[in-house]
Amino acid sequence: MRRKQQIPKLAALMLIPILALTILGTAYSHWQQTLTITGTITTGNCDIDFSKAWVKCTNAHEDTVQLTWNEDEVALTATEVFRLWKLLMGMHIENTGTLPIKITTITVTTDNETMFKHLNIFCGFFKFMYDLPIIPDSYPMLLKLGDNPVKPNPVELQPKEKVDLGQLMIFDLHDLCNPIPKGETFTVTITITAVQDFPTSSWSDSIRISLTLTTENN
């Protein structure tokens, strides 16, 4: 008889931890809460564009020069290029991004290094210039093949700020003794690179000037 009475007591003792766990689980689920935070991060961008381009024919014939441009490229085609041929190009460059930038490098490439030696490209950045100079000494840079650091210093532009780029080209300025190849066509690509104005940033953007020149046949 005693053994039969102990069985319900044993079962009751086993139910106690089960009930305790059930109550604990209910309390935990009652107090548990999830907090979700949603945010939007927008990064800035590094972007430069041409906003205007023009030419001034100092002694080149206007009907032999054609200029086209868009925000990424200025393209000049000139024929009948002769000894001491001179042409001035002007361009507005604008920081159209959202970050401060520096124009640091101008890179020059060509498909004909021999013909490029006849071409002198004087280059410089000017702010608030109504008339770009037509004297070579007024320009701080004479472009060479490869990378040309911007002189005297990199050009700093805040968002929406503009700068004028002047480019004075003179053909065969220093090589007057050797004859010019007749009817020769060659191309020159000038790439202008800007980087974000922050030492550890690798963001950059570039625009280019494409020149196609053909010497006179006579």
* Maximum pairwise Cα distance, the chain: 134
The CATH number linked to 120 is: 2.60.40.10
How far apart, in Å, do the first and last CA atoms of the chain sit? 134
Residue 69 pairs in a beta bridge with 74
8 Å CB contact between 113 and 66: no
CA dihedral of 126, 205, 104, 67, whole degrees rounded to 10: -40
Which residues are paired to 66 by β-bridges? Answer: 77
Total domains in the fold of the chain:
1
| 178 assigned to some structural domain | yes
**Residue 20 resides in a domain:** no
Kindly provide the residue ranges of all beta strands, DSSP E only, lying in the chain, ordered along the sequence. Answer: 48-57, 65-69, 73-81, 86-95, 101-110, 119-126, 141-142, 146-149, 155-157, 162-171, 185-196, 204-215
Do residues 109 and 115 touch, judged by C-beta distance below 8 A?
A: no
pLDDT digits 0-9 by tens, 131-143: 788 889 999 999 9
Alpha carbon of 196 to those of 34, 44, 154, 184: distances in Å?
A: 40, 10, 12, 40
What pLDDT score was predicted for residue 18?
64
pLDDT at 10: 58
Q: Which residue has the higher pLDDT, 57 or 102?
A: 102
Q: What angle do CA 155, 190, 211 make, to 5 degrees?
A: 135
175 is a domain residue: yes
- C-alpha separations of 152 from 89, 122, 149, 217 in Å: 20, 13, 9, 39
Q: Residue 200 has what pLDDT?
A: 65
96 is a domain residue: yes
Q: Is residue 15 part of a domain?
A: no
Give the pLDDT confidence score for residue 148 in this predicted structure: 97
Residue 2 has pLDDT above 80, yes or no: no
4, part of any domain: no
pLDDT above 80 for 41? no
Residue 199: cis peptide before it, omega within 30 degrees of 0: no
Evaluate if residue 189 carries a pLDDT over 70. yes
> Could you give the CA distance from residue 59 to residue 52 in angstroms, rounded to a whole number?
22
Across the chain, mean pLDDT equals 85
Give the pTM.
0.78
- Range of the structural domain that residue 194 is part of: 48-215
- The amino acid occupying position 187 is T
**Is 141 contained in some domain?**
yes
Instruction: Confirm whether 37 is domain-assigned.
Output: no
What is the rounded distance in angstroms from the CA atom of residue 67 to the CA atom of residue 56?
Answer: 11
Whether the predicted pLDDT of 7 surpasses 60: no
Checking if the pLDDT of 59 tops 80, the result is yes
